[in-house]
Structure 1
Amino acid sequence: MSKRNYLRPGLLSLALLSTLSLASLMANAAAAEVKSGSKLQSLSEMSETVSHRKLDIQTWKTSEGAKVLFVEAHELPMFDLRLTFAAGSSQDGDAQGLAMLTNAMLNEGVPGKDVSQIAAGFEDLGAEFSNGSYRDMALAGLRSLSAKKEREPALALFNQVIGQPTFPKDSFIRIKNQALAGFEYQKQNPGSLAGIELFKKLYGQHPYAHPSDGTEKSIPGITIEQLKAFHKKAYAAGNTVIALVGDLSRSEAEAITAKVSAALPKGPALATIAEPQTPPASNNHIEFPSKQTHLMLAELGIDRADPDYAALYMGNQIFGGGGFGTRLMEEVREKRGLTYGVYSAFTAMQVRGPFMINLQTRAELSEGTLKLVKDLLRQYLKDGPTEKELDNAKRELAGSFPLSTASNSAIVGQLGAIGFYNLPLDYLETFMQKIQALTVEQVKTAMAKHLDPDAMVIVTAGPTVEQKPLPPPTDNPVEQPLGVPEH
């Protein structure tokens, strides 16, 4: 069974809690997720009951240069394997969408098997294949029972998929058409249009500027020969992190990862992309016929190695990343009824990712709402969080933290991120220690250092209408938020 996952992974799950809204904006509208079969569904449900434990991460390199991170987990008779390649859209070059198409075509054909036979092969073994492509990275994963009679044929098929894709022409045409249909959908979605324009304005000529899925102009011109060349270069063993978690011994893990590594093309890690240049502040509007206006505000944030990461994570959780109870939700939704939801996020990447605030509101209140959000950020940077806010955020994070290692799939995601971003093996433990030791002044200083309300790139998408003044704040706003956000 195969499952293509288009949500943005790679950031540690702790950071993902504050970036889900951004991920949904950037998701490929044409992607269809194939649900996993009953054999693995029951194991998946069981795996969610595994409690948090300190991870004993073992690491080594294969002879081909792939970095391996492995955790033994004998609670369930299964294992999760994830390969993380530095093969995201930031490596597209002039062929925007090349990384996405290459990853999407992995399981469409191998020597002697077409896409249906590949899917049936995993299904018959009670196994699940998954893949996805994003700005920094591309993924390929396998979940399987760990007994040798299921494990070995599942791994053999997986190794064919990642190492010997044939890129059949009929599948290539179909996936291109799916991508083009997604672009047509984007034209009807103001949130998608705003997100695409925001990255263009924020990153200019940098590789992060273009959508991970390419564009309607770039996709038709990409050839199968380009996919083969990209696979040979970007899916090389030296450009790969192999994460493995499950009911396996060290010797079994070494044997598995050696075969996986040997199945990949031979080659070194690709060079890290250049740092982006700070863009000028700008205010950009997309005219769109709707009752609401999408507001997106952003500036360059941090890369994943920034020493201020913990302080910025906590500062953002209090300001707008933690759902209900944040400054933004309290002032914009709860007191004024201006929006269904408002969120902020630092997306830390290989190089400086965005800090973003996004929401939607009634079109006639959009200018006032935009000013309110900027004023709230300005005040927060000036004053910082209160002691009570910081204490509450620490308690909430301590309560949710066990979820980060509550299942094999969660752990394998953590390992992939630790390996990909070259984080220390004890990262999870030290991260929580850093969080609990933070002071109000440290959070305030970090937020003020990295953010400036007057330096933001702003994109709005909605109709041009006469503006009305904002309602005054109250504990019982007269007008309640409109329905579920359009994005």
Structure 2
Amino acid sequence: MNERNGLHYALTALIISLLVGALAMLASQPTSDQAHLAPTEAPAAGLQSLAELDGKAPARRALDIQTWQTAEGSKVLFVAAPELPMLDLRVTFAAGSSHDGDQPGLAMLTNAMLNEGIAGKDVTAIAEGFENLGAAFGNGAYRDMAIASLRTLSAPAQRIPALELFTEVIGRPTFPADSLARIQNQMLAGFEQQKQNPGKLAALRLFENLYGTHPYAHPSDGDAQSVPGIDVQALQAFHQKAYSACNAVIALVGDLSRSEAEAIAEQVSRALPEGPALPKVAQPETPEPGQQHIEFPSAQTTLFLAQLGVDRQDPDYPALYLGNQILGGGGFGTRLMEEVREKRGLAYGVYSSFSPMQARGPFMINLQTRAELSEGTLQLVQDILRQYLAEGPTQKELDDAKRETAGSFPMTTASNADIVGQLGAIGFYDLPLTQLEDFMAQVQAQTVESVKAAMQKHLSAQAMLIVTAGPTVAQKELPPPTDKPAALPAGVPEH
């Protein structure tokens, strides 16, 4: 389920007035010690204009991250943020679909059912309980992790009852059978809809081929065969095992003292089941390259190219991140966008990405193009990748990517919600507390040769797994590159 971040409407006027007062305080906060960004720039006294920046990165919030462990074994990360009278709390569990075992969809269903019932309250009463306090509950499950979050006013009158309800929801859910049946039916309807989505079908096949028997191979939400067999007892057993205090990272950001944060972390930790942390996911085996096609009646063909990338601990990730921004991760201006869309009008968009996870995540290129040009477009993308890996980026491409990365970096801590998400990731992946500053410093220190070497080390144009989905039609030659393509890009991707 997606996070629900809206606050109660009755608080809107209060929050707006507080935000107006807080903006001036936020703008005057000193920047963190980042010599790679702005070594001589003094803290801004107000809102910064683009002219004043003069090519330098805008200021970002300095984070004093405090960490400790609860008596029950939960890791805690806390940032005091007195600028707003709010508390953002996120609990991250090693309870993603990689722990489904032989029941794909178990982790997602367990997480989705957390707020469906507790002793004395059904799903409606729980929702009304948070709403009446002006609080918001959020949850979600992914391949590596599952999360539960709370946003509430930090004043005790709202915070205390909101926390009591939150801890009951994540620590003692009742998993009512009628709610389980309803959600299972919704999921089964979603699986039927997936059959009409060539992009989804291709992505599912790609992960199967890329990961084989590894836990990342199956989709996080399971499938039509596995989901109906998951019962209340399975949910209870998974919750007892995967939602234990030792398997949790608690992140807090808000208007709290250290002692208040410690008390909240203990309250959350005590509410969780007892038990050890689950073992980390093993690394996958490298698959053989190959190509598969899924026949699908549509005007466009979906193309996926992928191979195993890196895990979140890999020291080459900063270089790979920057290299990918130049290849296809940075939107317009990337090599893939320039050659495929801008010069030939073959696709609405074409993107590449590294997705580092607890184990090696995928490197992926994806696009949709006109069916009669799909083979030529695939060959073009392969040629672009091959040339890029052989030659590396230009100095201008590298400089532009560094500048864009530095410019967007403050957005990673622009709000308390952003910060609590960063803390959750830092704690879950066992990254250093200085990870945000370290990462930017490492990115800015990259050279043409270091990026080229990292991309060549981890990627090979000959090692790609390819999955396509679309109709089998007679192929046409690609139009030549031009500054003004005769054909417009293919339309918005089909769904």
**What band does the TM-score fall into relative to the shorter chain?**
over 0.9
Give the drift of 1:38: 2.1
Alignment match, 1:255: 263
Give 1:132's match in structure 2, choosing from 120, 140, 157.
Answer: 140
Of 383, 395, 406, which aligns to 1:387? 395
Which residue of the other structure, out of 2, 27, 32, is the alignment partner of 1:5?
2
Q: In the alignment, which residue of structure 2 is the partner of 1:363?
A: 371
| Equivalent of 1:106 in 114, 125, 130 | 114
Tell me if 1:121 matches 2:129. Answer: yes
Residue 81 of structure 1 aligns to which amino acid in structure 2?
L
For residues 162 and 251 of structure 1, the distance between their equivalents in structure 2, rounded to whole angstroms, comes to 23
What is the alpha-carbon distance in structure 1 between the residues aligned to residue 98 and residue 494 of structure 2? 28
Distance 2:2 2:91 in 1: 14
From 318, 329, 354, give the equivalent of 1:321. 329
Alpha-carbon separation, structure 1, partners of 2:198 and 2:191? 12
Paired with 2:302 and 2:131, the residues of 1 have a C-alpha distance of 42
Query: Which residue type is aligned with residue 454 of structure 1?
Result: Q
Q: Give a deviation string over 1:302-347, Cα, whole Å, max 9, x none.
A: 0000010000000000000000000000000000000000000000
Q: Distance in 1 between matches of 2:217 and 2:188?
A: 19
Contact 2:5/2:137, CA 8 A, preserved across alignment = no
SS of 1:278's equivalent in the other structure is coil
Residues 343-367 of structure 1: CA deviation (Å, up to 9, x unaligned): 0000000000000000000000000
Note if 1:333 corresponds to 2:330. Answer: no
* Structure-2 residue corresponding to 1:38: 9
* Contact 2:5/2:136, CA 8 A, preserved across alignment: no
2:66 equivalent in structure 1:
58
Query: What corresponds to 1:11 in structure 2?
Result: none
For residue 40 of structure 1, report the CA deviation from its aligned partner: 6.0
Any conservation in 2 of the 1:40–1:127 contact (CA below 8 Å)? no
Aligned position for 1:238:
246
Distance 1:46-1:290 versus aligned 2 partners, 3 A rule: farther
Query: Offset at 1:424?
Result: 0.3
The answer on whether the counterparts of 2:93 and 2:247 sit within 8 Å (CA) in structure 1 is: yes
Alignment counterpart, residue 183 of structure 1, candidates 191, 203, 209: 191
Contact 2:144 2:357 in 1 (8 A): yes
3-state DSSP class of the match of 2:125? Answer: helix
Identify the match of residue 488 of structure 2 among 457, 468, 480: 480
1:24-423 to structure 2, matched below 5 A, reads 36-39=7-10, 43=15, 46=19, 52-423=60-431
Unaligned 5+ segments in structure 1 are 7-32
8 Å contact from structure 1 (residues 83, 240) kept in 2? yes
Structure 1, residues 113-163: CA drift from partner, whole Å, max 9, x if none?
Answer: 000000000000000000000000000000000000000000000000000
What is the one-letter code of the residue matched to 2:254?
A: G
Match of 2:466 in 1: 458
Is the Cα–Cα contact under 8 Å of residues 109 and 118 in structure 1 kept in the other structure? yes
Amino acid at match of 1:332: V
Amino acid at match of 1:376: I
8 Å CA contact 1:40–1:128 kept in 2: the answer is: no
Aligned position for 1:426: 434
Structure 2 residue matching 1:435: 3-state secondary structure: helix
Which consecutive residues of structure 2, in runs of 5 or more, have no partner in the other structure?
A: 28-59
Quote the offset at 1:37 in angstroms. Answer: 3.3
Cα distance, 1:36 vs structure 2: 4.7
Cα offset, 1:482, TM superposition: 2.1
| Aligned counterparts of 1:292 and 1:266: Cα–Cα separation in 2 | 51
AA at the equivalent of 1:242: I
1:28: which partner in 2? Answer: none
Partner in structure 1 of residue 57 of structure 2: none
Q: Which amino acid aligns with 1:217?
A: Q
Relative to the length of structure 1, the TM-score reads 0.92
Q: Among the aligned pairs, what percent are the same residue? A: 69
- In structure 1, the residue matched to 2:41 is none
What secondary structure, in the 3-state scheme, does the structure 1 residue paired with 2:386 have? helix
In 2, the alpha carbon distance for the partners of 1:199 and 1:95 equals 17
SS in 1 for 2:253: strand
Tell me by how many angstroms 1:486 deviates: 1.7
CA distance in 1, matches of 2:294, 2:106: 27
The residue type equivalent to 2:461 in the other structure is: P
Shift, 1:479, TM fit: 0.5
Secondary structure of 2:427's partner? helix
Give per-residue Cα distances to partners, 1:386-417, cap 9 Å, x unaligned. 00000011111111111001100000000000
Bigger Rg, which one? 2
Q: In structure 2, what is the Cα distance between the partners aligned to 1:451 and 1:411?
A: 32
Letter matched to residue 331 of structure 1: E
Alpha-carbon deviations, 1:195-235, whole Å to 9, x = none? Answer: 00000000000000000000000000111100000000000
1:435 aligned residue:
443
Deviation digits for residues 25-65 of structure 1, max 9, x if unmatched? xxxxxxxx695532566749949965621110000000010
**For the residues of structure 1 that align with 2:339 and 2:8, how far apart are their CA atoms?**
44
Q: CA–CA distance in 1 between the matches of 2:450 and 2:281?
A: 30
What secondary structure does 1:276 align onto?
coil
Quote the residue 2:44 is aligned against. none
Q: Which has the higher contact order (CA 8 A, sep 6+)?
A: 1
Q: Which residue identity does 2:8 align to in structure 1?
A: G
One-letter amino acid matched to 2:199: G
The amino acid across from 2:9 in the alignment is S
Query: What secondary structure is seen at the aligned counterpart in 2 of 1:193?
Result: helix
Query: What does residue 38 of structure 2 align with?
Result: none
Q: Distance in 2 between matches of 1:430 and 1:400?
A: 16
CA pair 73-185 structure 1, distance change in 2 beyond 3 A: same
Distance in 1 between residues matched to 2:396 and 2:252, nearest whole Å:
40
Deviation, structure 1 residue 99: 0.2
Helix, strand or coil for the counterpart of 2:237? helix
Kindly indicate whether the alpha-carbon contact (under 8 Å) linking 2:6 and 2:136 is maintained by their aligned counterparts in 1: no
Q: Distance in 2 between matches of 1:246 and 1:5?
A: 22
RMSD: 1.5
